[in-house]
Chains A and B, each alone.
Chain A
Amino acid sequence: MAKVEIRDLHKSFGDNEVLRGINCNIEAGEVVCIIGPSGSGKSTFLRCINCLEEPTSGTITVDGHVMDANSPDIDSYREDIGMVFQQFNLFPHLSVMDNITIAPTMRKKMDMAQATELGRKLLASVGLEEKADAFPRSLSGGQKQRVAIARALAMQPGLMLFDEPTSALDPEMVGEVLDVMRHLARDGMTMAIVTHEMGFAKSVADRVLFIDEGIIAEEGTPDQIFSNPQNPRTKSFLDKVLEA
């Protein structure tokens, strides 16, 4: 059984059919990068995996659990799926440490001392030990995103979803966030990453999905996709983004 199994996933917003039948598995330990033109449905696809968007039809299972926003167990399923957002979405009224400890203390009934210890370790791993008592507003974009990654990791998830994690960053801060993600990948985390960073996808992904007009138009190893794309739409997309 794959870590994530997606069968015939459709999603419409009103008359607008954003996803038109997606089938895909993600194996444990695999790093999958999802690329494609804007508006192609990449983010919607990712957000369906943890049910932030409810599919119109189709099924998604994670660790064998059917993901359904109305399931009484959806909260506990989500505990095991970390998510990192383009806009960081740190909690502005909480300190960096509280951002990280809130979920483990509330959901896993971890005591504060234990959660703080975990928080320190995670902050150290993203290079922000000294920011534990800072508030999000005082951090740079890159620092915010690293805290957001630490916050997601605090639940010790088996799967991490990244929704364009570097798209809102100033160019000089992209690298520090990608480095953290690279380390995670090396440590064996299962990751699904929607990204425009082709260089990163090429070097870190085990598999690349090219999504266009709501379907997986092409998939393969980074080598296959970037050096030898078969679908003309993949070619034209890569020509556009790589020449820029």
Chain B
Amino acid sequence: MSFFELLQESLPLLLQGLGLTLWLAFISLVIAMILGILASLAGLSKHAPLRALNSAFVAIIRGTPLLVQAYFIYFGITGVLGIRMSAFTAGVIALSLNAGGYLSEIFRGGIQAVDPGQNEAARSLGLSRGQTMRRIILPQAIRICIPSVVNQWCITIKDTSIICVIGLAELVRQGSQIIARTYRPFEVWIMVGVLFFIVIWLLTLLARIVERKVSLG
């Protein structure tokens, strides 16, 4: 089979896998962003129990491999609780918790990097803590965080490949199935790699445009 025949045969399946990869990454990252912001606020709260909760969450996420987290959620939790969960749901839970943990630290750093004078000016005008956070601190913190957040998005998009271990037919799993049939690992892994590369490259390009648009410098 020539390379082009192989490409022709593989591409539809690989694109199908890519679609699932992107969908998985997208849903997980939307949840992870919300989780990350809430967790970072908990980490900066004046209430000690909330701070402790955030520290424990971040420590567990950082301290264990994503592979173990995914296995634990898909096989461990479903086994003990006797519930059924689709591999996709388990994948979303694992990825969003994982990315959420890292994003919470990124947001916490960003919030703390905003000049304390901004908080003082807003509070002196009568804005409440919550109003100050929403309208003054977070918009600036998120701008500071953009490079690190995009970095985490790239990592999470690629981390979807780990979710193939629980049987989700995303890009990497599609690739290995094609290889099992055709025994052409060299070409197929290049195709898989190139597809990931293009997605990440486009995302980075977009991020750079956004960054320039919203820059305050």
Contact = CB atoms under 8 A, between A and B. Distances in A.
A107 B127 contact: yes
Given A106-B131, A106-B135, A89 B125 contact: no
Contact of B123 (A78, A92, A93): A78
B126 interface: yes
9 contacts: A52-B120, A52-B124, A75-B128, A80-B126, A83-B121, A85-B121, A103-B126, A106-B127, A155-B125
A93 B121 contact: no
A177 to B, nearest CB: 16
Interface in B86-116: 115
Interface of A: 50, 52, 75-76, 78-83, 85, 87, 89-93, 102-103, 106-107, 135, 137, 148, 151-152, 155, 161
Nearest to A78: B126
Contacts, number: 66
B123 A52 contact: yes
A72 to B, nearest CB: 10
Given A52-B120, A89-B118, A89-B120, A107 B139 contact: no
Which 3 A-B pairs give the minimum distances between C-beta atoms? A79-B126, A89-B121, A103-B125
Nearest to A98: B135
Given A91-B122, A106-B135, 4 more contacts: A76-B126, A103-B127, A137-B217, A152-B124
B216 interface: yes
B121 A92 contact: no
B21 interface: no
A90 B136 CA distance: 10
A82 B121 CA distance: 9
B51 interface: no
A89 B120 CA distance: 8
B120 A91 contact: no
Contact of A87 (B117, B136, B140): B117
Contacts of A89: 115, 117-118, 120-121
Given A91-B136, A92-B140, A102-B135, A155 B126 contact: yes
Contacts of B122: 91
Contacts of B127: 75, 102-103, 106-107
Interface in B190-217: 214, 216-217
A107 B135 CA distance: 13
Contact of A93 (B117, B124, B128, B139): B139
A90 B140 CA distance: 12
A92 B127 CA distance: 17
A83 B216 CA distance: 24
A87 B124 CA distance: 14
A82 B124 contact: yes
A92 B216 contact: yes
B123 A79 contact: no
A148 B123 CA distance: 14
Contacts of A155: 125-126
Contacts of B115: 87, 89
Nearest to B120: A52
A93 B122 CA distance: 13
A107 B117 CA distance: 20
Contact of B140 (A80, A93, A106): A93
A158 to B, nearest CB: 13
A161 to B, nearest CB: 8
Nearest to A107: B126
Contacts of A75: 123, 126-128
A85 B126 contact: no
B139 to A, nearest CB: 5
B125 A151 contact: yes
Contacts of B118: 89, 91
Of A79, A106, A135, most buried by chain B (CB within 10 Å of CB) is A106
